[in-house]
Amino acid sequence: MSCRLAGAAAMRAAQTQTSPVLDGGGQGGVAIQVRGLRKRYGDVEAVRGIDLTVRTGEIFAFLGPNGAGKTTTVEMLEGYRHRDAGEVSVLGSDPADPRPGWRARIGVVLQECQPEAELTVEECIRLYAGYYPRPRPVAATLELVGLADRRAARCGRLSGGQRRRLDVALALIGDPELVFLDEPTTGFDPAARQSAWEVIAGLRDLGKTIFLTTHYMEEAERLADRIAVIAGGRIVAEGTTATLGGRDAAASIVRFTLPPGMPAADLPPVLAAARAGGPGGTVEARATSPLPLLGALAAWAQARHVDLPDLQVIRPALEDIYLQLTREAR
Amino acid sequence: MTAVSPGRAVSAAGSRRQLPRLIAHQFRADLRCFARNTQSRFFTLLLPVLFLVIFGSVFRNADVEVPGGSINESVYYVPGIIAFGLISAAFSNVAVTVVRTREAGIYKRRRATPLPASAVIAGRALVGVLTAVALTAALLVIGWAAYGASIPVRTAPAFALDVIAAAVVFCCLGFAVAPLIGNVDAAVPVTLAIVLPLSFISGIFIPAGELPGWLVNIGAVFPVRPLATALLAAYNPHTTGPGLRWGDLAILAAWGAAGLTFATLRFSWVPRGEGD
């Protein structure tokens, strides 16, 4: 493990040395810069002026419900769609008019794409390897995505999860600096999702910058260094998993069950506002800073020689914050 | 910056030098896909052979009026079915494959790679031309072995020119019709709906002399009839001279140019409904 991390660190250092400042690889460390990006389809403004900064070497999760403008945005960054307004720089190029060689430096996993059904997995990867000036080794890439034992299978016969791994392999084969992953695990069962996450986490160890769109908060929480939430075409929150949507400042919940025979009215004054009377005498109290409340509660319990065996302090779930953010935008 | 600019220049010039290699690389993969696809094998390769065997066997004993005299009907069908085979390999199969590849998102994914658009198109076009020529050779051999249909030496160069020109022209038309087909299910029916009626009014399944003149005149406007008459001229023993029919080739070339122009303007890299 430590060996693998050291290798990744060395690779990152090497990248920093070879990448020019203008390309966003060096001291600036910015892979993607977006300012005031807008896109309209007829009467609908799908993207309404968004700003984003993705730093080199990080996993950036772009989170939002279906129809929030995620794919429109990522396809503008990939150069598939033209923007109506705004400034975009991806690895130092405008994706609408990229410099020569730009496409060899990005990898794209599309939301919906079938492989060449008649080719075997290995033939398909070799086909794409041939498109690039300096491809990664085919065998190592098969290994990385966990398709080594399916190398001789026709692409058309792969399962959904295996096909997605092939998508990732095809996006990586050119050894890009930046990888776009558009909803890589949508429709996966839990086991397939778990192994996809391992693959994506492995990309970070290779020193890749990753722009991940998803509508699963859990996915963003597991993988991302930073998260931006888009809803209704606007960025409604941006931060780390710890700070997103004011999560660090949001109230925690202190929850316990009243010991038998103890009325809620007997609780210390700081818990007066607590909600009691849940199933089985559950009490829930909210506090931005839960420590004074816990101190008072502990003193109260000790004085009465009772225990609170199911005492819990619950941090607000990222999922709840996400749902609240996207609900407000609707 | 200074360290990188020369590298860029090299890679830009390098990619131009790379183009033949990239076309060959894409061509090999596309040819392999074609060879392994059951639908391609049946509709493109087997169907014309079946038609040749059926038409050639059913109408063995009749003679057909052709310019300069008459020939056995089974011989008459050989150049006609060769025209049909050329069209099914260069036009129908190209159109169906392009629609299938586009709707699968494969062209979209390839556009995210450094592969130049010209290599994507040229690789697939070469498969269309090559399979058309190979199928022609197979039909020619079957026609000669089974029905004694042969090409006089003096018209052989004209025949070769007709075949190669037609393969290129119908390939362009295949790329041109693909943007008009919205989904994979429609691809085969649409190409059949174009090719079959035109084949009927162009003297391929029914000798042109047995069709009403106005129908043949309509057919003469489209590219199937000129190809059929050009190939028949090469097979017809009564043809005098080299058998080159410049008028027919001119009509074919005009269709090819129109198809190429339309394909260039309307070619789509992304599945229907995903445009900008």
- Of the candidates A251, A249, A253, the residue with the CA atom closest to the CA atom of residue A284: A253
Task: Judge if A261 and A221 occupy the same domain.
Answer: no
pLDDT at B15: 60
Q: Which of A202, A227, A246 is the last residue of a domain?
A: A246
Asked whether the beta carbons of B93 and B139 are under 8 A apart, the reply is no
Task: Judge if A14 and A97 occupy the same domain.
Answer: yes
Mean pLDDT of the A23-38 span = 76
A73 domain-assigned: yes
* Subunit contact A100:B8, Cβ cutoff 8 A: yes
The Cα–Cα gap between A148 and A146 comes to 6
Within an 8 Å CB–CB cutoff, is residue B109 touching chain A?
Answer: yes
pLDDT at A330: 63
Task: Judge if A93 and A134 occupy the same domain.
Answer: yes
Give buried/exposed letters for B218-240 (b at 16+ CB in 10 A, else e).
Answer: ebbebbbbbbbbbbbbbbbeebe
Task: Judge if A175 and A304 occupy the same domain.
Answer: no
Residue with tokens 């060899």: A104
Q: Please report, for chain B, the start and end positions of each structural domain, with discontinuous segments joined by +.
A: 19-266
Q: Which of A246, A262, A291 is the last residue of a domain?
A: A246
Cα–chain-centroid distance for residue B91?
4
End-to-end Cα separation, chain A, in angstroms:
44
The Cα–Cα gap between A191 and A194 comes to 5
Express each pLDDT in B237-247 by its tens digit: 999 899 999 99
The Cα–Cα gap between A205 and A7 comes to 8
- Of the candidates B199, B22, B185, B157, the residue with the CA atom closest to the CA atom of residue B99: B185
Tell me the residue range of the domain where A242 lies: 2-246
A320 domain-assigned: no
Q: Would the pLDDT of A13 be above 70? A: no
Which residue among A82, A103, A171 sits closest to B114, beta carbon to beta carbon? A103
Asked whether the beta carbons of A68 and A230 are under 8 A apart, the reply is yes
Within an 8 Å CB–CB cutoff, is residue B67 touching chain A?
Answer: no
Task: Judge if A168 and A265 occupy the same domain.
Answer: no
* Subunit contact A131:B110, Cβ cutoff 8 A: yes
Task: Judge if A134 and A281 occupy the same domain.
Answer: no
Task: Judge if A88 and A229 occupy the same domain.
Answer: yes
Residues of B (163-192) whose Cβ lies below 8 Å from A: none
Token pair, residue B10, equals 């090299």
Q: Which chain B residues contact residue A132 at CB under 8 A?
A: 113-114
Q: Which chain B residues contact residue A113 at CB under 8 A?
A: 104-106, 108-109
Q: Which of A195, A226, A246 is the last residue of a domain?
A: A246
> What distance in Å separates residue B29's CA from the closest CA in chain A?
7
Window from A247-261, B28-42, B167-181 with minimum mean pLDDT: A247-261
Task: Judge if A141 and A289 occupy the same domain.
Answer: no
Which residue among B8, B25, B105 sits closest to A101, beta carbon to beta carbon? B8
* Subunit contact B36:A118, Cβ cutoff 8 A: yes
Task: Judge if A168 and A261 occupy the same domain.
Answer: no
List, in order, residues 6 or more apart from B134 with CB less than 8 Å away.
none
Token pair, residue B197, equals 């009626």
A326 domain-assigned: no
Residue of A39, A72, A116, A125 to mutate when probing chain B, most B C-beta within 10 A: A116
Task: Judge if A205 and A99 occupy the same domain.
Answer: yes
Residue with tokens 């945005």: A73
Which residue among B33, B110, B271 sits closest to A119, beta carbon to beta carbon? B33
Tell me what percent of the residues of chain A surpass a pLDDT of 70: 88
CATH number, domain of A25, equals 3.40.50.300
pLDDT at B160: 97
A328 domain-assigned: no
Coarse DSSP helix, strand, coil percentages of chain B, rounded to the nearest 5 percent: 75, 5, 20
Residues of A with CB under 8 A from a CB of B: 20-23, 78-82, 99-101, 103-104, 106-108, 110, 112-119, 123, 127-128, 130-133, 170-171, 174
* Subunit contact B115:A112, Cβ cutoff 8 A: no
* Subunit contact A123:B32, Cβ cutoff 8 A: yes
The domain total for chain A is 2
Task: Fill in the amino acid letter for B67.
Answer: P
A59 domain-assigned: yes
Give the pTM: 0.84
Task: Judge if A162 and A263 occupy the same domain.
Answer: no
Closest CA in chain A for residue B16: A100
CA neighbours within 13 Å on the CB side: how many for A73?
38
Task: Judge if A239 and A258 occupy the same domain.
Answer: no
Phi/psi of residue A157, nearest 5 degrees: -100, 5
Q: Collapsing DSSP states into helix, strand and coil, what is residue A289?
A: coil
Token pair, residue A10, equals 């060395």
Express each pLDDT in A201-238 by its tens digit: 988 888 899 999 998 888 998 999 999 999 999 999 99
Asked whether the beta carbons of B132 and B170 are under 8 A apart, the reply is yes
Which band of pLDDT confidence, cut at 50, 70 and 90, is reported for residue A20? very low
ipTM over 0.85: yes
Q: How many CB pairs under 8 A join A and B?
A: 84
